[in-house]
Structure 1
Amino acid sequence: MKKFLIILTPVALVLFTAWKWLLLPGVEKRMNTRTGEALPALSVRARALHESLVVGDLHADSFLWARDIGDRADYGHVDLPRARDGNLAIQVFTAVTKSPRGQNYASNASDAPDNITLLAVAQGWPPRTWGSLLERALYHAGRVRALASEAPGQMRVIHSAEDLRQALASRAQGGKQLAAILGIEGAHPLEGELANIGRLHDAGYRVMGLQHFFDNELGGSLHGQSGAGLTEFGRAAVQEMAERSIVIDVAHSSEAVVRDVLALVERPLIVSHTGLRGMCDTPRNISDGLMKAVAAAGGLVGIGYWDGAVCDPSPENIVRTMRYAIDLLGVEHVALGSDYDGTVEVAFDVGELGVLTQEMLRQGFSEYEIRRIMGENLRDFFLEQLPAS
Structure 2
Amino acid sequence: MSFSYLKFGLGTIVVIAAVGYGSVRAGYLAQYVDNAQNVVVEHEPYAITPDAQKVHDQLRIADLHNDVLLWGRNLSSQSSIGHSDLPRFKQGNVGVQIFSSVTKSPRGQNYEQNSTEAFDNITLLGWAQSWPSSALNSLSERALLQAQRLYDLERDHPESVKVVHNRGELEATLTARASGSDIIAGVLGTEGGHALDGDIKNVDRLYDGGLRMMGLQHFFDNKLGGSLHGQSKAGLTDFGKEVVRLMEEKEMIVDLAHSSPAVIKDVLAMSSRPVVVSHTGVRGICNTPRNLTDTQVREISAKGGLIGIGFWDAAACDISPKGVANSIDYAVSIAGIDHVALGSDFDGAVTTAFDTSEYAVLAQELMKKGFTQEQIAAVMGENIIRFLLENLPQGKTAEETVASSN
TM-score range, shorter chain: over 0.9
SS of equivalent to 2:367: helix
SS of equivalent to 1:338: coil
Gaps of 5+ in 2: 1-17, 396-406
Find out whether 1:41 has 2:47 as its counterpart. Answer: yes
Q: Which residue of 297, 319, 324 corresponds with 1:318?
A: 324
In 2, the alpha carbon distance for the partners of 1:33 and 1:49 equals: 27
Q: Which amino acid aligns with 1:86?
A: G
Gap change, CA 1:193 and 1:15, over 3 Å in 2:
closer
In 2, the alpha carbon distance for the partners of 1:24 and 1:252 equals: 26
Q: Which residue of 113, 118, 132 corresponds with 2:138?
A: 132
Find out whether 1:343 has 2:370 as its counterpart. Answer: no
Q: Which residue of 157, 162, 167 corresponds with 1:161?
A: 167
Q: How many Å apart are 1:313 and its aligned residue?
A: 0.6
Q: How many Å apart are 1:15 and its aligned residue?
A: 7.0
Q: Which amino acid aligns with 1:330?
A: G
> Given that residues 162 and 184 in structure 2 are in contact (C-alpha distance below 8 angstroms), is that contact kept between their aligned partners in structure 1?
yes
SS of equivalent to 1:183: strand
2:113 maps to what in 1?
A: 107
1:190 maps to what in 2?
A: 196
SS of equivalent to 1:340: coil
* Residues 181-208 of structure 1: CA deviation (Å, up to 9, x unaligned): 0000001011111111000000000000
Gap change, CA 1:311 and 1:14, over 3 Å in 2:
closer
In 2, the alpha carbon distance for the partners of 1:173 and 1:16 equals: 46
Q: How many Å apart are 1:39 and its aligned residue?
A: 4.3
Find out whether 1:74 has 2:80 as its counterpart. Answer: yes
Gap change, CA 1:290 and 1:50, over 3 Å in 2:
same
> Given that residues 55 and 89 in structure 1 are in contact (C-alpha distance below 8 angstroms), is that contact kept between their aligned partners in structure 2?
yes
Find out whether 1:28 has 2:34 as its counterpart. Answer: yes
> Given that residues 40 and 354 in structure 2 are in contact (C-alpha distance below 8 angstroms), is that contact kept between their aligned partners in structure 1?
yes
1:373 maps to what in 2?
A: 379
> Given that residues 214 and 221 in structure 1 are in contact (C-alpha distance below 8 angstroms), is that contact kept between their aligned partners in structure 2?
yes
2:278 maps to what in 1?
A: 272
Q: Which residue of 327, 337, 342 corresponds with 2:333?
A: 327
In 1, the alpha carbon distance for the partners of 2:305 and 2:365 equals: 25
Q: Which amino acid aligns with 1:189?
A: A
Q: Which residue of 82, 100, 114 corresponds with 1:94?
A: 100
Q: How many Å apart are 1:45 and its aligned residue?
A: 1.0
In 2, the alpha carbon distance for the partners of 1:355 and 1:19 equals: 38
2:227 maps to what in 1?
A: 221
In 1, the alpha carbon distance for the partners of 2:114 and 2:228 equals: 10
* Residues 27-56 of structure 1: CA deviation (Å, up to 9, x unaligned): 111100011122431111111111111100
SS of equivalent to 2:290: coil
1:5 maps to what in 2?
A: none
> Given that residues 91 and 181 in structure 1 are in contact (C-alpha distance below 8 angstroms), is that contact kept between their aligned partners in structure 2?
yes
2:14 maps to what in 1?
A: none
SS of equivalent to 1:180: strand
> Given that residues 35 and 347 in structure 1 are in contact (C-alpha distance below 8 angstroms), is that contact kept between their aligned partners in structure 2?
yes
Q: State TM-score, norm by structure 1.
A: 0.95
Gaps of 5+ in 1: 1-11
> Given that residues 63 and 140 in structure 1 are in contact (C-alpha distance below 8 angstroms), is that contact kept between their aligned partners in structure 2?
yes
SS of equivalent to 1:130: helix
* Residues 341-364 of structure 1: CA deviation (Å, up to 9, x unaligned): 000000000001111011111221
Q: How many Å apart are 1:13 and its aligned residue?
A: 12
Q: Which amino acid aligns with 1:168?
A: L
In 1, the alpha carbon distance for the partners of 2:169 and 2:211 equals: 14
Q: How many Å apart are 1:243 and its aligned residue?
A: 0.5
In 2, the alpha carbon distance for the partners of 1:86 and 1:37 equals: 17
* Residues 220-266 of structure 1: CA deviation (Å, up to 9, x unaligned): 00000000000000000000001100000001000000000001111
SS of equivalent to 1:53: coil
SS of equivalent to 1:95: strand
In 1, the alpha carbon distance for the partners of 2:97 and 2:31 equals: 23
Alignment of 1:172-183 (within 5 A): 172-183=178-189
In 2, the alpha carbon distance for the partners of 1:145 and 1:130 equals: 20
1:243 maps to what in 2?
A: 249
Q: Which residue of 205, 215, 226 corresponds with 1:199?
A: 205
Q: Which amino acid aligns with 2:292?
A: I
Q: How many Å apart are 1:109 and its aligned residue?
A: 0.3
2:365 maps to what in 1?
A: 359
In 2, the alpha carbon distance for the partners of 1:39 and 1:238 equals: 44
SS of equivalent to 1:213: coil
Q: How many Å apart are 1:71 and its aligned residue?
A: 1.6
* Residues 130-172 of structure 1: CA deviation (Å, up to 9, x unaligned): 1110111111111111111111110000100010001111011
Find out whether 1:19 has 2:25 as its counterpart. Answer: yes
More displaced 10-residue stretch of structure 1: 250-259 or 136-145:
136-145
> Given that residues 59 and 340 in structure 1 are in contact (C-alpha distance below 8 angstroms), is that contact kept between their aligned partners in structure 2?
yes
Q: Which amino acid aligns with 2:393?
A: P
Gap change, CA 1:14 and 1:283, over 3 Å in 2:
closer
SS of equivalent to 1:353: helix
Superposed CA RMSD in Å reads: 1.4
Q: How many Å apart are 1:14 and its aligned residue?
A: 10
More displaced 10-residue stretch of structure 1: 19-28 or 329-338:
19-28
Structure 1 ranges of 4+ moved more than 6 A: 12-15
Q: Which amino acid aligns with 2:113?
A: S
Q: Which amino acid aligns with 1:101?
A: R
Q: How many Å apart are 1:18 and its aligned residue?
A: 3.4
In 1, the alpha carbon distance for the partners of 2:93 and 2:115 equals: 40
SS of equivalent to 2:263: helix
